[in-house]
Amino acid sequence: VCSLSRKAEGVGRPGDDLDLFCVPNHYVEDLEKVFIPHGLILDRTEKLARDVMGDMGGHHIVALRVLKAGYTFFADLLDYVKALSRNSDRFFKSYCNDQSTGAVKVLGGDNLSTLAGKNILIVEDIIDFGKTMQIFLSLVQQHNPKMVEVASLLVKRTPRSIGYRLDFDGFEIPDKFVIGYALDCNEYFRDLNHVCVISETGKAKYKSEAESPG
């Protein structure tokens, strides 16, 4: 039996050349390197799903996604969790209108009043300073949930961090501007499968495009 740690994997590797991966041609000049390949992301996400099941798999769970950028990690993590729940003696379900949906219930921010007494999994794409997550946790706690745990794909090492520690974290990364796997720069790069470091050319191009009139 493999023992899986919930501690984030550090990404100390310098990254890989773009020509080793399938990268859309229109992004090649805008990327510095591939930082975390898609296959490695999926492998780590599956391990995080096992950690979630180990802690929360015996309960009915409501999953919340914080920001738009986290939708790919959110979907992949919950797909793994649901697959694990089907192959175990524990069930990962939530309830909607008093009937089991057989899946995780996803709520918008305007439905937080329904969280009372529920077991909540908050899913985020990246934790930078930790301040936003602390504010959101405070908001959720106001509605008296039974349990709240947080999962994030990336945790950034930065001196500006307020020291927030989450429950399930995928990769610990340096303080760099990363995009891909739904992380964006002014709405670009969401379609990129890998987590990549954007180049200075890319930063300048997409910042200027976003600021241009019309």
Of 128, 167, 169, 191, the catalytic one is: 128
128 catalytic residue (yes or no)? yes
3-state secondary structure the chain: CCCCCCCCEECCCCCECHHHCCCCHHHHHHEEEEEECHHHHHHHHHHHHHHHHHHHCCCCEEEEECCHHHHHHHHHHHHHHHHHHHCCCCCCCCEECCEECCCCEECCHHHHHHHCCCEEEEEEEEECCCHHHHHHHHHHHCCCCCEEEEEEEEEECCCCCCCCCCCEEEEEECCCCEEECCECECCECCCCCCEEEECHHHHHHHHHHHHCCC
Active-site positions?
Answer: 128
